[in-house]
Amino acid sequence: MTGITVLVVVVILAVAVGLILRRRSGAVRTIASTDSDDLLPLLVDAGVTSGTSTILHFSADWCGPCAAVRRVVHQVLADRTEAREVELDIDAHPNLARELGVLSLPTTFVLDTELRRRSRIAGVPSAADLRSALDAL
């Protein structure tokens, strides 16, 4: 009987954690930017330039959901000229990913014109949420 009770508790906890992670996936979270001085040179080395709002997303060849992020970003930027996209391979830019705290793929950041982080999205965002993040700049 104890074994069944433990099994039921573990299953309930697993379902709860799964639902929480699913709910957070793709959600746009606003960040209070406290970027370090080490971040700007890494961004510039990766080809990110100031002057326009930027959607920076990390991806990899082996990441399936990264293609979905690419489609959403292209959809959002199709009617915008004031923002641009920068896609970085996490394997090619590990120092920048580490500095930004990227722990999973896909991870997307919305940067303002001065390359400060304004929003962070883990997972695949909806087009409406990504538009709202850009409009907030």
Higher pLDDT, 69 or 35: 69
- The amino acid occupying position 33 is S
| Whole-prediction pTM | 0.80
d(CA 65, CA 67): 5
Give the number of C-alpha atoms closer than 13 A to the C-alpha of residue 61, restricted to the C-beta side.
Answer: 2
Q: Given a cut of 80, is residue 46 above it in pLDDT?
A: yes
Question: pLDDT value at position 8?
Answer: 86
Question: pLDDT value at position 137?
Answer: 83
* pLDDT tens column, 83-115: 999 999 999 999 999 999 999 999 999 999 989
CA angle, 114 then 116 then 121, to 5°: 135
Question: pLDDT band for position 59 (50/70/90)?
Answer: very high
Question: pLDDT value at position 29?
Answer: 75
